Chains A and B, each alone.
Chain A
């Protein structure tokens, strides 16, 4: 079975699973874990957009 993911979708899937593990392992209470998981996910995806825009501006 072959999975074809674009660069962006691969980055989002990566961010999702990494954020789940970070949230569970780096915080103590459930609410803190959920909050930290969302925070990590936002940083991952935000970083993707930021890097994308930087590369687009460099290319111009």
Chain B
């Protein structure tokens, strides 16, 4: 005689096999929204009609970037040297157009001379990393994974 608990386990495994992950087809918007969101922080969400979220993301990332510059933070250039310098560049470039404008205007071309400048450098890198997260979020919204 089979134990009832064993039957329940068998049912559960059958149900687990029957439940399939919903499919999220890749659309044009799922590619465009994160790209636009990377280039202009928050724009990916605005493009997807999430205006409130987009504006909050724009304000947060731009404010962090500008405060970082105001604190005399250094902006990394493309480099192939020290791993921390490469990662610093990856973080900075996450800010999209802000990074390119700063490079063109030659902002942030300073060496950290005090603690505040070091914090500024961190603000610049984190602004870029947060913008990467925001761009990934725009991708998920465009796919329909997130409301």
Interface residues on B, range: 20 to 34
Given contacts A3-B70, A5-B71, A17-B63, whether A25 and B126 have CB atoms under 8 Å apart is: no
- The reply on B29 being an interface residue by CB < 8 A is no
Q: Shortest distance in angstroms between A25's beta carbon and chain B's nearest beta carbon? A: 4
Interface residues on A, range: 10 to 19
Which residues of B98-143 have CB atoms within 8 Å of chain A's CB atoms?
Answer: 115-116, 119, 122-123, 126-127, 130, 133-134, 136-137
A20–B60 CB distance below 8 A: yes
- CA gap between A18 and B130 in the complex, in Å: 7
- The reply on B147 being an interface residue by CB < 8 A is yes
- CA gap between A21 and B127 in the complex, in Å: 10
B136–A25 CB distance below 8 A: yes
Which one, A7, A17, A22, A28, contacts B147 given CB within 8 A? A28
Which one, B67, B126, B127, B147, contacts A3 given CB within 8 A? B67
- The reply on A13 being an interface residue by CB < 8 A is yes
Which A residues lie within 8 Å of B64 (CB)?
A: 14, 17
